[in-house]
């Protein structure tokens, strides 16, 4: 098998056009898309805008490429030996040693605009304006001496509440990532584009903690006042999209728009469903449903007119991906323009080994949302009728499906529970509980109560039903029990969304109190009651009591800020 080394150099086996870097900024030439053969290779600069890099204080000494098409970004990536061509046309990259987000290296500039609105603490770490200025000077100097790739796009399919985003990067494949993940613009929009927020992306620059006030050489810094994001020291592409998600989570509540870390899809009758969940719980998998249109797989806003996608693409986990289990996502990984991060390839065929986690468990695929056949290209939907909370309970305690009251919904939204399994992190020898408020605490600048209040109000206004779906283990904890079958989970979700569960019989869970259906079409009855799947009922009782205590201990920090009804909606 082929695993790219850390000094990853792609072996390009087919010829590509090469050219010498220009000594100018590259702003003079515009690629004529209609007559590409009439334009010299040195003029393939892409679609420029009238607002150039001078507005960002960058004085380029090398070439600047504006809004290049994916094929051109492929060429620039291969010319720099930054990726491998994958069987069927995708692009494989390596981001090691950073193969996931660096949450401890995320900062928000603390100033008059953010002082009273940001929930400062371990999640939202403050950086002084002086340290930001010092880091920014070094980032601008660094970028000014390199070939640059500029991508102008939009975050937010709602015309009133979206923002225009510019990404300036030294890496062509990161520009392709931004092309995939943000909403793509028309030619007319490119010409008049002026960014609301700008990401200055310098992955090869290392921050200096002594000079920049950072924790390490990695930094992801959001400056709301300057409307800028600085990223250094990490090639993990997810930092680009999540930094803008944090920006939207900060600014949209003031517009009465509820920003959500969730996927969304819609049925034939216009019934919208939301899927909240942390990484690994099935958010992308379950929303990519052939029977329903995909609005988006990760980030949405809920405003006065309904739900809208923040993004123009998907960023799916691919570990253990199969053609049979997730056909739509699998198909997308075989398409030109898709970026595969940290996957292992066959050395001869360049086919992907999706089961190989030797680089990381967090293998990813980035692709435009229209690569999913039933994508809702408008990125818009009405007010949700159903809200699904996803958890991968590695303790084997929670039922595979349960109906929540509004108070229980608020309790579990603030809890944001899932579990890590043994072996996924060094030193983890048994399942460990993870509580991430609102199913997205690392991306929430404001106090979780702000977002919970917005959810509660919308549930009351629109009467959406909330469901808890456990995609984790049954018959015992991880290592003893078995993972719930995806086919059964899909059947439960379908029954919940099409109304077949609502008219059935339910019984209260003896520990957590929520209603558990006594039957679900196409699902064995014995699967629905977790205690009955364990060979030892007493062992289940002990595990359930342990998990219930974890919930109570975690919720203690919210207990004084919620109503008695919500406070009493947790485990008994």
pLDDT at residue number 430: 67
In order, the DSSP letters of 242-299 are: HHHHHHHHHHGGGGT-EEEEEEEEE-TT--EEEEE--TTSSHHHHH--TTSEEEESSE
pLDDT, one tens digit per residue, over 245-261 is 999 999 999 999 999 99
Write down the pLDDT at residue 11: 30
Tokens 């986690």 label which residue? Answer: 357
What's the pLDDT score for residue 368? 98
Supply 401's token pair.
């499906």
How high is the pLDDT of residue 50?
Answer: 66
Contact assessment for residue 237 and residue 341, using Cβ atoms and an 8 Å cutoff? yes
Query: Three-class SS of residue 21?
Result: coil
Mean pLDDT, to the nearest integer, of 165-192? 95
Q: Can you give the pLDDT at residue 41? A: 35
Of the listed ranges 401-415, 419-433, 504-518, the least confidently predicted one is 419-433
From the number of C-beta atoms within 10 Å of its C-beta (0-12, 13-18, 19+), residue 17 rates as: exposed
What average pLDDT does range 264-282 have in this prediction?
Answer: 95
Please check the confidence at residue 34 and state whether its pLDDT lies above 80.
Answer: no
Is the pLDDT at 340 greater than 90? The verdict is yes
Residue 27 has pLDDT above 50, yes or no: no
Known catalytic residues are 101, 242, 261, 279, 283-284, 298, 364
pLDDT of residue 2 exceeding 50: no
Q: What pLDDT, in 10s, does the model give residues 420-471?
A: 874 444 444 567 899 999 999 999 999 999 999 999 999 999 999 999 999 9
Asked if omega into 97 is within 30° of 0 (cis), the reply is: yes
pLDDT at position 125 = 98
Extract the tokens encoding 184. Answer: 């793509």
Average pLDDT over all residues of the chain: 90
Confidence at residue 468, expressed as pLDDT on a 0 to 100 scale = 98
pLDDT for 344: 97
Residue 164 · residue 152 · CB < 8 Å: yes
Token pair in block for residue 450: 């702000």
pLDDT (mean) for 393-411: 97
Query: What pLDDT, on a 0 to 100 scale, did the predictor assign at position 420?
Result: 81
pLDDT tens, 497-511?
999 998 889 999 999
At residue 365 the predicted structure's pLDDT band, cuts being 50, 70 and 90, is very high
Q: Which helix (H) or strand (E) holds 542?
A: helix 537-555
What are the structure tokens assigned to 345, written together? Answer: 């390839």
pLDDT at 6 over 50: no
Confidence of residue 45 (pLDDT cuts 50, 70, 90): low
């Amino acid at each position: 098998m082929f695993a790219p080394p850390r000094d990853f150099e792609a072996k390009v086996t087919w010829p590509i056009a090469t050219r010498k870097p220009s000594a100018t900024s590259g702003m003079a030439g515009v690629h004529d898309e209609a007559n590409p053969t009439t334009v010299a290779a040195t003029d393939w600069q892409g679609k420029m805008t009238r607002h150039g890099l001078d507005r960002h204080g960058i004085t380029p000494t090398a070439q600047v490429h504006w809004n290049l098409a994916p094929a051109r970004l492929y060429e620039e990536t291969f010319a720099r030996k930054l990726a491998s061509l994958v069987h069927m046309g995708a692009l494989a990259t390596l981001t090691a040693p950073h193969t996931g987000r660096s949450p401890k290296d995320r900062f928000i500039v603390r100033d008059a605009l953010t002082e009273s609105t940001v929930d400062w603490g371990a999640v939202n770490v403050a950086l002084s304006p002086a340290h930001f200025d010092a880091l920014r000077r070094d980032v601008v100097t660094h970028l000014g001496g390199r070939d640059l790739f500029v991508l102008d796009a939009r975050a937010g399919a709602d015309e009133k509440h979206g923002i225009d985003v510019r990404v300036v990067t030294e890496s062509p494949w990161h520009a392709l990532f931004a092309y995939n993940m943000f909403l793509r613009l028309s030619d007319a929009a490119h010409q008049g584009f002026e960014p609301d927020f700008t990401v200055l992306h310098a992955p090869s620059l290392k921050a200096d903690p002594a000079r920049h006030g950072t924790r390490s050489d990695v930094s992801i810094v959001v400056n709301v006042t300057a409307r800028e994001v600085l990223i250094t020291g990490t090639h993990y592409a997810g930092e680009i999209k999540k930094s803008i998600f944090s920006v939207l989570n900060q600014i949209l509540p003031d517009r009465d728009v509820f920003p959500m870390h969730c996927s969304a899809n819609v049925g034939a009758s216009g019934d919208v469903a939301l899927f909240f969940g942390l990484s690994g719980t099935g958010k992308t998998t379950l929303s990519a449903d052939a029977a329903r249109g995909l609005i988006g797989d990760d980030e949405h806003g809920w405003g006065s007119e309904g739900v809208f996608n923040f993004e123009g693409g998907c960023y799916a986990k691919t570990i253990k991906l199969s053609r049979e289990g997730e056909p739509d996502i699998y198909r997308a990984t075989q398409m030109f323009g898709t970026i595969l991060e940290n996957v292992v390839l066959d050395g001869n065929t360049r086919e992907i080994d999706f089961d190989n986690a030797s680089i990381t468990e967090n293998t990813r695929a980035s692709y435009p949302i229209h690569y999913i056949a039933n994508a809702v290209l408008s990125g818009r939907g009405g007010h949700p009728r159903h809200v699904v909370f996803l958890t991968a309970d590695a303790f084997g305690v929670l039922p595979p499906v349960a109906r929540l009251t509004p108070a229980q919904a608020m309790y579990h939204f603030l809890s944001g529970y899932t579990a890590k399994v043994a072996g996924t992190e060094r030193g983890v020898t048994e399942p460990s509980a993870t509580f991430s408020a609102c199913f997205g605490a690392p991306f929430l600048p404001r106090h979780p109560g702000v977002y919970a209040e917005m959810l509660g109000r919308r549930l009351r206004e629109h009467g959406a039903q909330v469901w808890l779906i456990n995609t984790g283990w049954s018959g015992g904890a991880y290592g003893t029990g078995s993972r719930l079958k995806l086919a059964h989970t899909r059947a439960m979700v379908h029954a919940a969304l099409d109304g077949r569960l609502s008219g059935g019989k339910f019984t209260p869970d003896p520990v957590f109190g929520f209603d558990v259906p006594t039957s679900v079409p196409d699902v064995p009855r014995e699967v629905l009651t977790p205690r009955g799947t364990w060979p030892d009922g007493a062992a289940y009782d002990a595990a359930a009591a342990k998990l219930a205590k974890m919930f109570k201990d975690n919720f203690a920090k919210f207990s004084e800020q919620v109503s008695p009804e919500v406070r009493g909606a947790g485990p008994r």
